[in-house]
Amino acid sequence: MADTGHGADAALRIKALESLLVEKQLIDPKALDAVVELYEHKIGPRNGAKVVARAWVDPDYRKRLLADGTAAIAELGFSGVQGEDMIVVENTPEVHNMVVCTLCSCYPWPTLGLPPVWYKAAPYRARSVIDPRGVLAEFGVEVPETVEVRVWDSNAELRYLVLPMRPAGTEGMTEEQLAALVTRDSMIGTGVPMAA
Amino acid sequence: MPAALTPEIVPGLVAGGASTKIAEDIAPKFKHGDKVRARNINPTTHTRLPRYVRGKVGTVVHDHGVFVFNDSNAHGKGTHPQHVYNVRFTAQELWGPDAPSRDTLHIDMFESYIEPA
């Protein structure tokens, strides 16, 4: 397994790379600050939560989302790097979906932000395909034997977002209240939305 | 000389992205429902074909359209555009008879990765 890079070594490497790129006039350091600002404050799982909540309250939007994820997500203003070609997969009483990238760390950035460390780690990537139910159990998700566990390996250029099932007892809730129930992990498939 | 990447162009670049899907009219070799085998090839360079599917038989469930082929493009050896298919494998095909009978794995296969089964 390659060094995934953490701690002081990674920090040094990043500093060295940044210095080189700036010296060669490939980047303006302020451009890096702008990228960091975007991913710290604007692009993250609250975007995906808005998509999910909209799909829960608007059946036509749900249909568009499942038919053309990229276009439907763009309707809410989310698009771009690592979300250029999106597929949305829907959990149902018969199917529980779960997303992994076994080759590296492919993840739908516009809707979920940058991937958590565990998503990029070798154990999650290896075990999600051979023992998804074991991994799900460790995340506290028990999937009955009568339900199909469907793993999506985002190995190529498609990026996947799970549309979790709307929790029971949320009939009277607003779209905004519903979005607050949608967790990051529920959109990866390693969790379920919070209860109402 | 200004740097290539400046703060002004960051938001547009991030929101625009860079899809590797291309509008080339290439006839697909496979269609929904076709049985296919992931080829047992072992490139020593960049590939998007994980070992665990090589030699295994699955079913085409979707044609995503035409994409740039990562394996060649990563090495500057051309885009070799081709169809990418979503292929469904049963957990038992991948991992043997002890795997749960209902469970499945879906993965995206460049046309070069698969052959009729």
Provide the CATH number for the domain around residue B83: 2.30.30.50
- Considering the domain boundaries, does residue B1 fall inside one? no
- At B73-102, the pLDDT tens digits run 999 999 999 999 999 999 999 999 999 999
By the 8 A CB rule, do A185 and A116 touch? no
Round to whole Å and give the CA distance between A98 and A136.
9
* Whether pLDDT at A101 is above 60: yes
Test the B interface: residue of A155, A159, A160, A161 with most B CBs within 10 Å: A155
Enter the ipTM.
0.96
Domains in chain A, please, with CATH? 7-41 (no CATH), 44-188 (3.90.330.10)
Asked if B46 reaches chain A (Cβ–Cβ under 8 Å), the answer is no
Domain count, chain B: 1
In terms of residue numbers, what domain contains B35?
A: 20-116
Share of chain B above pLDDT 90, in %: 97
- At A115-164, the pLDDT tens digits run 999 999 999 999 999 999 999 999 999 999 999 999 999 999 999 999 99
- Considering the domain boundaries, does residue B13 fall inside one? no
B95 Cβ partners below 8 Å, 6+ apart?
Answer: A130
By the 8 A CB rule, do B113 and B49 touch? yes
Chain B partners within 8 Å of A151 (Cβ)? 103-106
Report DSSP state, residue A147. S
Report DSSP state, residue B21. B
Asked if A31 reaches chain B (Cβ–Cβ under 8 Å), the answer is yes
Q: What is the pLDDT of residue A1?
A: 43
- Considering the domain boundaries, does residue B5 fall inside one? no
C-alpha distance from A172 to closest chain B C-alpha (Å) = 34
Q: Which residue has the tokens 């339900």?
A: A147
> One of A19, A79, A104, A154 is an active-site residue; which one?
A104
pLDDT band at A196 (very low <50, low <70, confident <90, very high): confident
- Considering the domain boundaries, does residue B65 fall inside one? yes
C-alpha distance from A173 to closest chain B C-alpha (Å) = 31
CA B20 to chain centre: 11
Torsional class of A118: left (φ above 0), alpha (ψ -120 to 50), beta (otherwise): alpha
Which H or E element spans position A17?
helix A7-23
- At A2-43, the pLDDT tens digits run 555 567 888 999 999 999 999 999 999 999 999 999 999 999
- The token pair that represents B114 in the structure block: 């698969």
